[in-house]
Amino acid sequence: MAKTIIPFGPQHPVLPEPIHLSLTVEDEIVTEAVPALGYVHRGLEKLCEIRDIHHMIQIVERVCGICSKIHAMCYCQGIEEMMGVEIPERAKYLRVIWSELHRMHSHLLWLGLFADAFGFESLFYQFWRIRERIMDINEATTGNRVIVSVNVIGGTRRDLTPEQTRWILSELDNAEREIKELESTILDDYTVRKRTVDKGILTKEQALVLGAVGPTLRGSGVAEDARQLGYACFNELDFEPIVEHGCDSYSRNKVRFRETLQSVNLVRQAIRQMPDGETAVKVKGFPEGEHTMRVEQPRGELFYYFKADGTKNLDRLRIRTPTFANIPPLAAMLPGIELADVPVVVLSIDPCISCTER
């Protein structure tokens, strides 16, 4: 049987990410997938050598706009641990509130794109309409809808008033109700199940060996989530990883849907348990030594490596984003599926190639 090599990307109508895959196809069945990265270069890590540690917060936020709050939190926590800085308890809760709001708007964006991938335009608009509620909360409480810039080394630059927290809880009640109204469509519709069930299989063993992270890992039955480390105030919240055991695109879809509702609950818990007090402490001096920091992005574990020599600039900053970790598992998912299913399976890992390459 003749083999055909088909280039997929770096641009594709269904996938707004600059990823390139060389797909070997036999009779419409993919037999091999070889990814190629390297289409986006911004030099963000290199900037640590000329921007001081405080200015770098705004740089790392631009690694990925939709995860900007969590990038900044990871960076600030790493610097704080290197310098032995203990931030106020209220700041820990505020960081969790805004990071879980970011997780919600990231998952809602993905759920809309996933629905659009198999032709459900109305469902796409419904998820994005709910996402607007979350972005309105970001705008009202931080001044911006995407890159919120609330983290500083030592805490947060903004606080929430009692009126704002009551309004957030009210908006989350509405968002939760609207999300649940879409559950039967995104999880039980015949077309959705036909395009996702048993598509893009990644077994539990493969997920562990190939280093999958986030919903890609938890959709293969592994209960691993960096929030279990208890950073910020997660050790004070009632939290268990969302896990599905189908090991396919449908399971990854279900994990993200359930995590969206879980984030609503985590924000409620954080608001109700948040103590009074200051939101930041003054930080003097500069970090020295080497350190690593891990947090959970919407796409999975985010890893930062720091090297500092006691001056205002870092010697080295290395960032590993979750999409980079999920590329080898993606290459293992594609062989054996039909060519028409490739866009949906690729989208099932929620790829962000721009932040992967920086």
User: Which residues make up each annotated binding site for Mg(2+)?
Assistant: 45, 319
Residues of the binding site: 45, 64, 67, 319, 352, 355
CA angle in degrees (0–180, nearest 5) for 237-239-241: 155
Distance (Å, whole) CA 232 – CA 241: 17
Residues of the binding site for Fe cation: 67, 355
Tokens of 227: 């929030």
State phi, psi for 177 to the nearest 5 degrees: -60, -45
Distance (Å, whole) CA 160 – CA 148: 14
Cβ–Cβ < 8 Å for 138, 97: no
**The one-letter amino acid at 168:** I
CA angle in degrees (0–180, nearest 5) for 348-305-260: 30
Tokens of 50: 């000329």
Tokens of 195: 């395009």
Q: Which of 229, 223, 192, 186 lies closest to 207 in space, CA to CA?
A: 223
Residues of the binding site for Ni(2+): 64, 67, 352
Measure CA 268 to chain center. 20
Distance spanning both ends of the chain, measured CA to CA: 40
By three-state DSSP, how is residue 185 classified?
Answer: helix
Q: Which of 147, 101, 146, 136 lies closest to 262 in space, CA to CA?
A: 101
Phi-psi region of 241 (alpha: psi -120 to 50; beta: other; left: phi over 0): beta
Tokens of 218: 């938890």
By three-state DSSP, how is residue 230 classified?
Answer: coil
CA angle in degrees (0–180, nearest 5) for 261-267-269: 105
